[in-house]
């Protein structure tokens, strides 16, 4: 009797457990429903919830069209949520998976902006600047008629300016600490890399000053004279004249 009672108890418990599991596990939602839920979250600014919904769209394998839309939307949600590292990776994945998609140029633009938005001060890691520059260069070459072409040109110019600011920052550091030859090398390389930059007068001024501090008076005066001749209205003109005396 005890054995029979134990068996009945076991069956009752097993049945209850099975029913409990059955209530927890719900059938997968259709891809279109998951996609719409993602859109609703996205419109409300709930980007993490939107990403979760769109990832489920991909996991259903029910619609390649919706999966493609979800992939781009996931990247957009990361971008708007300011998760720029994840956004850059998501846009790159989208471009690799769908190289002929009509939104590929937009994805490349946003990939560049994801790197650009990670740029901080000139005395920090310059990797985001370099990455943004590479992506923007690619956009300008691949999409000369692209909708974001003008904006990308401006962002590219800003990247080049930030790169030059960094070179000046390092050069001035060398100059301040008496490493004159290292400073000269840095400033000369800057002139080669950015010959038409708006900060050309600043580079010439510090290069001339570095030559003078290094004891190369003739070269120093030559460079400063070049600054005064090419850019007489420069903010560095007065200091250049004073340094030449």
Q: How confident is the model at residue 123 (pLDDT cuts 50, 70, 90)?
A: confident
Is the per-residue pLDDT at 6 higher than 60?
Answer: no
Is the per-residue pLDDT at 8 higher than 80?
Answer: no
Crossing angle between the packed helical segments 84-97 and 64-80, to the nearest 10 degrees: 150
> Using one digit for the tens of pLDDT, what is the confidence trace for 47-100?
999 999 999 999 988 889 999 999 999 999 999 999 999 999 999 999 999 999
Query: Is residue 221 assigned to a domain?
Result: yes
The more confidently predicted of residues 16 and 166 is 166
Query: Is residue 207 assigned to a domain?
Result: yes
- Is the whole-model pTM more than 0.85? no
| Domain assignment of residue 196, given as a range | 178-245
172-183 burial by CB neighbour count: b if 16+ within 10 A, else e? bebbeeebbebb
C-alpha 203/C-alpha 171 separation (Å) is 9
C-alpha 146/C-alpha 148 separation (Å) is 5
Find the range with the poorest average confidence among 44-53, 128-137, 236-245: 236-245
**Number of domains making up the chain:** 1
Query: Is residue 214 assigned to a domain?
Result: yes
Query: Is residue 203 assigned to a domain?
Result: yes
Query: Is residue 193 assigned to a domain?
Result: yes
Q: What is the DSSP letter of 229?
A: H
Q: What pLDDT is attached to residue 198? A: 87
Residue 200 tokens, joined:
């050309």
CATH of the domain at 194: 1.25.40.10
């Amino acid at each position: 009797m005890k054995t029979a009672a134990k068996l009945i108890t076991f069956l009752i418990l097993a049945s209850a457990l099975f029913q409990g599991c059955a209530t927890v596990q719900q059938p997968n939602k259709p891809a279109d429903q998951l996609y719409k839920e993602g859109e609703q979250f996205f419109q409300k600014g709930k980007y993490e919830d939107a990403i979760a919904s769109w990832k489920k769209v991909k996991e259903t394998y029910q619609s390649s069209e919706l999966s493609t839309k979800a992939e781009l939307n996931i990247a957009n949600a990361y971008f708007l949520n300011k998760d720029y590292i994840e956004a850059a990776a998501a846009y790159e994945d989208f471009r690799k998976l769908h190289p002929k998609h009509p939104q590929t140029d937009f994805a490349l633009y946003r990939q560049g902006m994801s790197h650009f938005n990670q740029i901080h001060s000139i005395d920090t890691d310059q990797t985001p600047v370099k990455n943004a520059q590479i992506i923007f260069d690619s956009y300008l070459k691949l999409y000369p008629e692209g909708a974001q072409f003008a904006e990308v040109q401006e962002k590219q110019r800003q990247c080049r300016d930030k790169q030059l600011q960094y070179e000046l920052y390092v050069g001035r550091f060398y100059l301040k600490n008496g490493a004159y030859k290292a400073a000269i090398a840095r400033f000369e390389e800057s002139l080669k890399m950015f010959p038409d930059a708006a900060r050309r007068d600043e580079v010439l001024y510090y290069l001339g000053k570095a030559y003078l501090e290094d004891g190369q008076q003739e070269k120093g005066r030559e460079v400063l004279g070049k600054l005064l001749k090419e850019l007489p209205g420069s903010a560095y003109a007065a200091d250049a004249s004073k340094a030449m005396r």
